[in-house]
Chains A and B, each alone.
Chain A
Amino acid sequence: MTRTITGERGRAHGYADLAGLMALMSGDEKHGPAATSTLDVLWVLYDRVLRVGPEQADDPGRDRFLLSKGHGPMAYYAVLAAKGFVPAAWLPGFGSYDSPLGHHPDRTLVPGVEIGSGSLGHGLPIAVGTALGLRAQGLDEPRVWVLTGDAELDEGSNHEAIAFAGATGLERLHTVVVDNASARHARPGGIAARFEAAGWSTATVDGRDHEALYTAFTAPHPGRPHVVVARVAPKTA
């Protein structure tokens, strides 16, 4: 079941509204697989997993979601609008000079956005530090989530973070890799295998299947960080 919250002007937004919210940015009701590759992952996270909402945007105890793959953020902005972090009225300005909504998100401009991203390979190292910072302050509840793309994992900085988090058993750290088979020089099953070799708990699921995503997102992983590889249609298909 999909929960909804009451958005601006008392309007309730659900999953079915996301296409319309994205259309406010793109001017088109139809969106290809590239624009929506992260949509279901984001929706399930914000709707059912993350303990954060517009009222907790500055709460030290909130869950952190870091969009590392800052490319193609329309789906992200649509979900943030649906959940009341940003007004839907901002969406039509997407990418314009006066808009806070750029083609890569900026945390200082958009409520609810935890990091500015766009250059690939920065989210996981920052998430490691966020997890360490929360632990050092005795904040045991908040979890940290990072969304990366499969091609983004080509950046070596990710592997510094993956190795460190696995070896130190950074349990509160979660990564979801949206895998649209866009990585150059990839090997089948290589993503999960690399996380697993570093000591992570892993799950690989259909990135469009909300129940499968929810199950994978909430699977227990005591003493280890957790990665969910969410497979979606190949970018070039």
Chain B
Amino acid sequence: MDTMRDRLAPVLTRLLDGDPRVAVLLAEIGADGFTEAGRRHPDRVINVGIREQLLVGAAAGLALTGLRPVVHTFASFLVERPFEQVKLDLGHQGVGAVLVSAAASYDWPAGGYTHMAPGDVALLGTLDGWTVHVPGHPDEAETLLRHAVAAGDDKVYVRLSLLSNGDALPVDGARFRTVREGRAGVVVAVGPTLDDVLTATQGLDVTVLYATTVRPFDAAAVRRAAGAGRADVVLVEPYLAGTSTAAVNDALTGVPHRVLGLGVGRRELRRYGTAAEHTAAHGLDPRSLRERIGGFLGAAARH
């Protein structure tokens, strides 16, 4: 199977061909995919070199002139390193852009902690007005990329990852999707965690919601799934554990509830190896998930 990132340059190249507002900004990373697009649109495919503050600042300048900038690099260099540019040059100036990241939380474990960005979604969550898409399959990534670029002058983050589910589901760029229905609890699986969550919750009497857009957070879907009585909700996020725990609490202020926020741990592992090893180390593999979800929901969840 190809990767989400394999879709990036072909999709953006078609958007560059069709929409004179679209511009792509790069900082070396991923630039090879845009060679042909750059030949066709030399003024709208811009590689600033290894200069990430300029990358985001220049995107804001393009937006101020009316263009729709799409900015791509690894998540750590797109959100964390130039965070003040994201906050001020886009948010405070009142202009939009599409930020498309790669490498996610631990897509390149052998690259170590410098290339891991488990905190990206949490950081963007401190800012107003961001839409955050976390696709779980290359087809979904393609759909959400198109959504993001077409979203007027909105500020949109698209988090691409090498981790993927086996099959794509229909995504609409806004709402959670009910994948399984049950009575003893709600599990929200974000992006590429879905397959492992479905395996882990096999035989458990739980509703599984699939989230590919986490900001804004689909509170209505969580409320519907939780029902009228007391509610138990488990979040499984492929980035920092607890990133959306407050969003679930806010969704359920009207009913007594408990929330378990699972995701990537805060502690630096200082390990290389494979993504599968990191998934297990963070307790996000199916066996660990089953233990943690089952333990939280208790006997009621077991048929």
Contact = CB atoms under 8 A, between A and B. Distances in A.
A108 B94 contact: yes
A186 B46 CA distance: 33
Contacts of B51: 160-161, 163-164
A161 B57 contact: yes
Interface string B45-62: 010110101101111111
Contacts of B93: 107-108, 115-116, 126
Interface residues of A, number: 31
A74 interface: no
Nearest to A167: B49
A25 interface: no
A223 interface: no
A116 B92 contact: yes
B89 A122 contact: yes
Given A107-B93, A126-B60, A164-B54, A133 B67 contact: yes
B99 interface: no
B66 A132 contact: no
A115 B94 CA distance: 10
Interface string B87-130: 01100111000000000000000000000000000000000000
B43 interface: yes
Interface centre among B65, B67, B85 (most CB of A within 10 A): B65
Contacts of A116: 88, 92-93
A160 B54 contact: yes
Contacts of B46: 132
Given A119-B88, A157-B54, A130 B43 contact: no
Interface string A55-75: 000001000000000000000
Interface centre among A122, A132, A135 (most CB of B within 10 A): A132
A127 B61 contact: yes
A131 B67 CA distance: 12
B23 interface: yes
B89 to A, nearest CB: 6
A97 B149 CA distance: 36
A84 interface: no
Interface centre among A107, A127, A128, A131 (most CB of B within 10 A): A128
B43 A135 contact: yes
Given A137-B65, A156-B53, A157-B53, A122 B88 contact: yes
Given A156-B53, A160-B54, A164-B49, A126 B44 contact: no
A129 B58 contact: yes
B31 interface: no
Given A125-B53, A125-B85, A164-B51, A130 B61 contact: yes
B64 interface: yes
B64 A130 contact: yes
A134 interface: yes
A133 B94 contact: no
Given A122-B85, A122-B88, A126-B89, A136 B57 contact: no
B6 interface: no
A131 B53 contact: no
Contacts of A152: none
A128 B57 contact: yes
A174 to B, nearest CB: 14
Contact of A160 (B53, B61, B63, B89): B53
Nearest to A106: B92
A87 B66 CA distance: 27
A150 interface: no
Nearest to B87: A119
28 contacts: A60-B66, A108-B94, A115-B93, A116-B93, A122-B57, A122-B85, A125-B54, A125-B56, A125-B57, A125-B58, A126-B89, A128-B58, A129-B58, A130-B62, A130-B65, A131-B61, A133-B66, A133-B67, A134-B65, A136-B44, A136-B62, A136-B67, A156-B53, A157-B53, A160-B48, A160-B53, A161-B57, A164-B48
Interface of A: 60, 106-108, 114-116, 119, 121-122, 124-137, 139, 156-157, 160-161, 163-164
Interface of B: 20, 23, 43-44, 46, 48-49, 51, 53-54, 56-67, 69, 84-85, 88-89, 92-94
Given A128-B57, A133-B67, A137-B67, 11 more contacts: A106-B92, A116-B92, A119-B88, A122-B85, A126-B89, A126-B93, A129-B69, A130-B65, A136-B62, A137-B65, A164-B49
